[in-house]
Amino acid sequence: MLSGTTISSIIAVALVFSLPTKAAPRQMMRRSTPELSLTAQLQIADTAIDRYKLLSKDEDFVYDFTNSTTPFANRETFPALVGSGTSFSVGQLPACSMVYLHLHPRATELFVLNSGRVLTQMVPEAGVLDSEGKQRVINTELGPGKMTIFPAGSFHTQVNPDCEPANFTAAFSAEDFGFGLVAQETFSLSDDAIAATFGQSIAGEDIDKVRDAIPTDAVIKVEQCLTKCGKQKRHI
Ligand SMILES: *[C@@H]1O[C@H](CO)[C@@H](O)[C@H](O)[C@H]1NC(C)=O
Ligand SMILES: *[C@@H]1O[C@H](CO)[C@@H](O)[C@H](O)[C@H]1NC(C)=O
């Protein structure tokens, strides 16, 4: 049997837990959030209508790729994207350049070429095989007006093999698409893990050699093409 005292303690505890739950929504509404970034405020807004109130100027709905420090608009650089589930990139692949083997952890990319020529390679995922039963690699050659798709998480790389720059636009199926640099990330593992991953074919000092040789900029210049075009190697 529960004593009267025990029952009143249980009721008291129940009240303590129930009161804040009822009071919480009101407190949330009253709390001002100036310390949060606009993107953060937009993310916690109760409704889309509230988001429009936070984006009160018409200019809040314009992203100027010609005057921005980043070649992509994500929900951090362009807060109006919050709630849309999308982001966008406009950029130029310089002559004889290659975008590192990379992936986007949260987004499928639709990559459209607007000028020039770009060769792409994409590795979809384990189990997607070619006619010989080997890992399938999807190669495309894009010219103006052509588009390819890089599904979320797929490894991909883009090469501009010509002497002129290639302009592209790319749409992403997430507001914060993110980047994974495959080689850099692999070689950030411990030496033991790398040696095991590559079937002990690489060990000791060689691991450091490979690690140090991986370029750190996202776009690398392709030597042969530079010679063909009579251009100097430069880092961008
Ligand atoms: C470029 O952006 C800066 C900072 O947002 C702004 O002050 C400037 O007016 C912009 N310039 C043009 C040409 O839009
Ligand atoms: C490529 O983009 C640059 C920078 O926006 C622009 O100046 C140039 O005219 C574009 N080239 C073509 C062929 O569209």
Per residue in 136-152, pLDDT (tens digit) is: 999 999 999 999 999 99
CA atoms of 171 and 88, how far apart (whole Å): 5
Q: For residues 171-194, give the mean pLDDT.
A: 93
- 110 belongs to a structural domain: yes
CA 180 – CA 103 distance, rounded (Å): 5
Q: Say if 29 falls within a structural domain.
A: no
Determine the distance separating the centroid of ligand 1 and the alpha carbon of 68, expressed in angstroms. 8
Tokens of 106: 């949260």
Whether residue 25 is contained in a domain is answered as no
Which residues does ligand 1 sit against, CB inside 6 Å? 64, 67
Q: How far is the CA of 64 from the centre of ligand 1 (A)?
A: 9
- Ligand nearest to the backbone CA of 167: 2
Q: What is the pLDDT of residue 22?
A: 42
Asked if residue 71 is part of any domain, the answer here is yes
Token output for 67: 């005057």
Nearest CA to 94 out of 184, 214, 225 is that of 225
Overall domain count for the chain = 1
Beta bridge partners of 87: 172
Going by pLDDT thresholds of 50, 70 and 90, the confidence category of residue 161 is: very high
| CATH at 138 | 2.60.120.10
Residue 130 lies in a domain: yes
Q: Which domain holds residue 67?
A: 63-179+218-229
Sort strands 109-115 and 219-221 into parallel, antiparallel or unpaired. unpaired
Residue 34 lies in a domain: no
138 burial (CB, 10 Å; 0-12 / 13-18 / 19+) is middle
